Amino acid sequence: MIESLFISLQLALVTTVILLFLALPLAYVLAFKTFKGRTVLEVIVALPLVLPPTVLGYFVLLMIAPNTGLGRVWQSVFDSSLAFSFSGMVIASVLYSLPFAVQPMQQSLRAIPDSWLEMARTQSLSLKQTLIQVMLPAARGGVLVAAALSFAHTMGEFGAVLMVGGSIPGETKVASIALFEFVEMQQQSEAWMLALILLGVSFVMLSVVYTLNRQGLNPGIFK
């Protein structure tokens, strides 16, 4: 049980860090840019919200299989298979949790007053300077909410990580899969304890989200 929890924590942490870097530029583009194909990009980002996790996991598994270009490159560089590995689960988790990172950031960026951005333009700040000095401080609540939701969502993943990583003890067996196996084997005390731990993690993460909302740091999320 402890081993599977540790793997879940590792996966959630790595996924959250990657998503914070990946989601911010996406959120900026979706918040401020108008271009052909914008709707398609929004749909792609939001698709994991409605797509069954096993379907997403299946497509990721096809993408990283040893006979694909990505799978062959990974095999040649790292001398290991990307499928049924921790790294493969990271790819699936990033894709599956993407909307939980992008949407809070996008809404926080949209909530920045136009006058602030206009002031940055009148002071001849570059896009990089505007992002660092104006946008990120103003949208810090959205970034924190994105981190909390991404972490909690990854901790509770089941279908996607099972399809991509399987259930290899000490490597890819995360807490949600361990819980399922405990129930299958009728190990009720272990299942009960693990379920309570996962419930506690989810409760804490959502408490962070709602606390940020009450403090007005992340307007528009869960209101």
pLDDT one-digit tens code per residue, 133-152: 788 887 888 888 899 999 99
Q: Select from 104, 112, 201, 94 the least CA-distant residue to 146.
A: 104
List the domain boundaries for the chain.
2-214
DSSP secondary structure of 47-86 = GGGTS-HHHHHHHHHHHHSTTSHHHHHHHHHHSS-STTSH
pLDDT of residue 216: 58
Written out in words, the top-level CATH class of the domain with range 2-214 is mainly alpha
* Per-residue exposure over 188-201, b if at least 16 CB sit within 10 Å of its own CB, e if not: eeebeebeebbeeb
How many angstroms separate the CA atoms of 180 and 169, rounded? 14
pLDDT of residue 222: 38
pLDDT above 60 (res 89)? yes
How many angstroms separate the CA atoms of 182 and 222, rounded? 34
